[in-house]
């Protein structure tokens, strides 16, 4: 059967007492690796700002903290109850937790969805974890314990440091296309009991040609466990649909650190995943001991689909599907990078689909995993990205927003790849965005980091195309696809700029005075991964001057249209230039919503309607030349 949203429901309130405040973000944060037992730690925590980053010396580890915050919302957000938008070099969290007695005999895992940026975690005064990077999860193993324990977290977030921060402003205020900072815990915190030998996250790779799924199931050994502990043990996987069991497989668990299984789908149960039919099979993986007793189990889902390349076409399930993508920053007025509730994640996908988009670039942050879960359910194509915007080397920085590439870029990227690789909605990887640095005869750190992130994605996942960097500096010759960013607002001029693929001359970003930022184009599939950004403020429609219209706090690309009619004419012309080219496989329009002062969204920041969405949708229903030129193939099954 299709998998449920969660397999269990945490207590509806932090204490379980009637009348206690509702638990924020109570849904399971890791829907592709669900266990029945878990405890959500969102809600009120003690909190204190550590302006001098001297809290450890001043005893903040030992004493109660002076304030309160609502986790998982960052202290800069309204929903946190703090709402401080000044620089926060370090912040501290403290909470007492009661581990259920029913968990006795199992190891307690303390999970953090994301903490920005450098986190250290203590439990009962003992350091149990440290993690660098504000976008990816980490876990502390607390051993066998029940009863009360005290969790303390310190998060350091130096706005001047060479860290990946995405679109977070390094100035006091928001400006142009950078936004309010996010410090500290901004995704769900939770506890989970596991056996000494347990199942780690399952890697699921669909094989459409073979009508099967390849599973890699890493095992995690804690404490004093050794390989001999698993002698005679097995890993079993079961695939289901609405009619019941579809396939199953069993392998020995003592021959490999990551046992591998193949689940072959019978012909009469094959159903392909795609935007028109986002079918998900249920998936359960079990670890059993030599006596056949259940040791551990994970519930997940799987979608049978393929992504491939034929010439300049990118294919989904063997046919070109023009990728009508929208740039999604994933910011919210009251929660910043954290959605106020699970329904907000679903609504963003539904809003994009209502406007005619079939997917998104998940831009400049690693989105929480539940977004990908909903994209799987709703048939929404996404590109997995990282929050590095404008990375370049120290010494080439021209303004305070640029970020310097470091080894932690690669570390976090590997963590993101591991977390998200099993989601069928994810159709491509791109580690870097707008790396503004010229190609010279000297190998640079940016060259190394760009290549490292490309190779990491290719090694971690052979089933999807990888783009070395979105826009500007393409530094990896063997990048699977090629792209550029072009915010030209005149449709005729835009069509001329992006129309050179037939001559082997795709639009390529260059620096000042034609400075070369990319290696020569190698004939890969090409798409315009940022365009449009039409600056539209309905409240200023009557103004005669686009300068006047943006004079307060508004920002957007190019000259703002004078009316909504002009917006629609421009949007239709820009999209048609790409849809009409049989050598273009997709585009990404900037952007889904306004974000603070950046007012170039199809929707307002609060997700309300600001223009005729049906006309936006209609413009995108123009047949794509790459699809209509493709020959029909008999016998295709599924979506």
pLDDT tens digit string along 186-207?
999 999 999 999 999 999 999 9
- Alpha carbon of 104 to those of 84, 147, 193, 194, 449: distances in Å? 40, 9, 9, 10, 45
Q: What is the pLDDT of residue 418?
A: 96
- 186 Cβ partners below 8 Å, 6+ apart? 72, 73, 74, 113, 114, 115, 116, 134, 336, 337, 338
Q: What is the pLDDT of residue 257?
A: 86
The answer regarding whether domain 307-628 maps to CATH 3.20.20.80 reads: yes
Rounded to an integer, what distance in angstroms lies between the CA atom of residue 360 and that of residue 343? 18
Burial of 519 (0-12, 13-18, 19+ CB in 10 A): middle
Partnered with residue 251 across adjacent β-strands are 235
pLDDT at 227 over 50: no
How many helices and strands (H and E) does the chain possess? 9, 34
Residue from 128, 116, 58, 123 nearest 90 by CA: 116
Rounded to an integer, what distance in angstroms lies between the CA atom of residue 567 and that of residue 241? 45
8 Å CB contact between 280 and 178: no
pLDDT tens-digit profile of 349-376?
999 999 999 999 999 999 999 999 999 9
Q: How many residues does the chain have?
A: 639
Rounded to an integer, what distance in angstroms lies between the CA atom of residue 96 and that of residue 502? 64
Q: Which residue has the tokens 């990551």?
A: 258
**Secondary structure (3-state) at 549:** helix
pTM of the model: 0.93
**How many CB atoms within 10 Å of residue 635?**
4
Rounded to an integer, what distance in angstroms lies between the CA atom of residue 32 and that of residue 299? 7
Q: What is the pLDDT of residue 358?
A: 98
Mean pLDDT score, 2-26: 49
Rounded to an integer, what distance in angstroms lies between the CA atom of residue 423 and that of residue 429? 12
CA count, 13 A, side-chain hemisphere, 148:
3
The answer regarding whether domain 209-302 maps to CATH 2.60.40.10 reads: yes
Rounded to an integer, what distance in angstroms lies between the CA atom of residue 112 and that of residue 227? 28
Q: What is the pLDDT of residue 554?
A: 83
Rounded to an integer, what distance in angstroms lies between the CA atom of residue 639 and that of residue 323? 15
Most confident of 54-63, 170-179, 393-402: 54-63
**Backbone CA torsion sign across 533, 538, 544, 545:** negative
pLDDT tens-digit profile of 273-306?
999 999 999 999 999 999 999 999 999 999 999 9
Provide the token pair at 212. Answer: 């099967």
pLDDT at 413 over 90: yes
Helix (H) or strand (E) holding 381: strand 381-385
Q: What is the pLDDT of residue 498?
A: 96
Domains of the chain, residue spans: 39-194, 209-302, 307-628
| DSSP secondary structure letters along 428-468 | EEEEEEEE-----SS--HHHHHHHHHHHHHHHH-SSS-EEE
User: Predicted confidence band at 633 (pLDDT cuts at 50, 70, 90)?
Assistant: low
What is the CATH topology of the domain spanning 39-194?
Answer: Jelly Rolls (2.60.120)
Q: What is the pLDDT of residue 599?
A: 94
Q: What is the pLDDT of residue 390?
A: 81
Residue from 506, 493, 406 nearest 446 by CA: 406
Rounded to an integer, what distance in angstroms lies between the CA atom of residue 360 and that of residue 426? 10
């Amino acid at each position: 059967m299709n998998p449920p949203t969660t397999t269990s429901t945490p207590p509806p309130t932090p204490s379980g007492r009637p009348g206690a405040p509702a638990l924020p973000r109570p849904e399971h944060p890791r829907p592709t690796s669900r266990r029945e037992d878990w405890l959500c730690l969102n809600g009120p925590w003690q909190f204190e700002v550590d302006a001098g980053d001297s809290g450890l010396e001043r005893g903040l580890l030992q004493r109660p903290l002076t304030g309160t915050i609502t986790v998982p919302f960052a202290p800069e957000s309204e929903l946190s109850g703090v709402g401080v938008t000044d620089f926060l070099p370090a912040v501290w969290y403290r909470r007492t937790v009661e581990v259920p007695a029913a968990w006795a005999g199992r190891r307690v895992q303390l999970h953090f969805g994301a903490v920005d940026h450098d986190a250290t975690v203590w439990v009962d005064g003992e350091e149990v974890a440290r993690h660098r990077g504000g976008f990816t999860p980490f876990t502390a193993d607390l051993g066998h314990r029940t009863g009360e324990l005290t969790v303390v977290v310190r998060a350091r977030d130096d706005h001047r440091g060479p860290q990946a921060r995405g679109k977070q402003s390094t100035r006091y205020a928001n400006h142009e296309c950078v936004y309010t900072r996010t410090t500290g815990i901004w995704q769900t915190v939770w506890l989970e009991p596991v056996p000494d030998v347990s199942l780690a996250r399952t890697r699921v790779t669909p094989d459409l040609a073979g009508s099967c799924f390849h599973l890699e199931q890493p095992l995690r050994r804690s404490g004093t466990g050794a390989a001999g502990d698993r002698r005679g043990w097995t890993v079993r996987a079961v695939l289901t649909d609405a009619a019941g069991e579809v396939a199953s497989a069993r392998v020995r668990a003592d021959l490999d650190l990551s046992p591998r299984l193949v689940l072959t789908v019978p012909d009469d149960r094959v159903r392909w995943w795609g935007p028109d039919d986002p079918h998900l099979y249920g998936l359960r993986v079990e670890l059993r001991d030599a006596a056949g007793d259940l040791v551990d189990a994970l519930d997940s889902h799987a979608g049978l689909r393929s992504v491939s390349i034929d010439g300049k076409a990118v294919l989904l399930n063997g046919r070109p599907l023009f990728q009508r993508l929208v740039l999604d920053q994933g910011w919210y007025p009251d929660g910043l990078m954290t959605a106020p509730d699970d329904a907000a994640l679903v609504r963003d996908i539904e809003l994009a689909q209502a406007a005619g988009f079939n997917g998104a670039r998940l831009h400049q942050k690693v989105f929480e995993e539940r977004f990908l879960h909903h994209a799987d359910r709703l048939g929404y194509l996404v590109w997995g990205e990282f929050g590095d915007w404008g990375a370049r080397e120290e010494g080439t920085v021209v303004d305070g927003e640029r970020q310097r590439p470091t080894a932690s870029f690669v570390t976090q990227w590997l963590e993101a790849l591991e977390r998200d690789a099993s989601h069928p909605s994810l159709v491509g990887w791109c580690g870097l965005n707008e790396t503004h640095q010229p190609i010279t005869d000297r190998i640079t750190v940016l060259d190394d980091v760009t290549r490292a992130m490309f190779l990491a994605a290719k090694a971690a996942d052979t089933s999807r195309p990888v783009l070395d960097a979105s826009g500007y500096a393409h530094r990896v010759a063997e990048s699977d696809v090629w792209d550029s960013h072009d915010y030209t607002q005149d449709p005729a001029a835009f069509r001329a700029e992006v129309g050179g693929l037939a001559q082997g001359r795709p639009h390529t970003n260059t620096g000042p005075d034609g400075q070369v930022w990319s290696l020569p184009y190698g004939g890969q599939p090409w798409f315009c991964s940022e365009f449009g950004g039409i600056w539209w403020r309905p409240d200023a429609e009557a103004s005669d001057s686009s300068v006047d219209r943006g004079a307060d706090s508004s920002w957007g690309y190019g000259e703002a249209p004078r009316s909504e009619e002009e917006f629609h004419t421009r949007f239709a012309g820009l999209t048609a230039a790409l849809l009409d080219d049989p050598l273009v496989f997709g585009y990404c329009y900037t952007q889904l919503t306004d974000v603070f002062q950046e007012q170039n969204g199809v929707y307002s920041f609060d997700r309300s309607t600001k223009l005729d969405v049906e006309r936006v949708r209609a413009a995108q229903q123009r047949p794509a030349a790459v699809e209509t030129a493709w020959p029909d193939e008999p016998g295709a099954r599924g979506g």
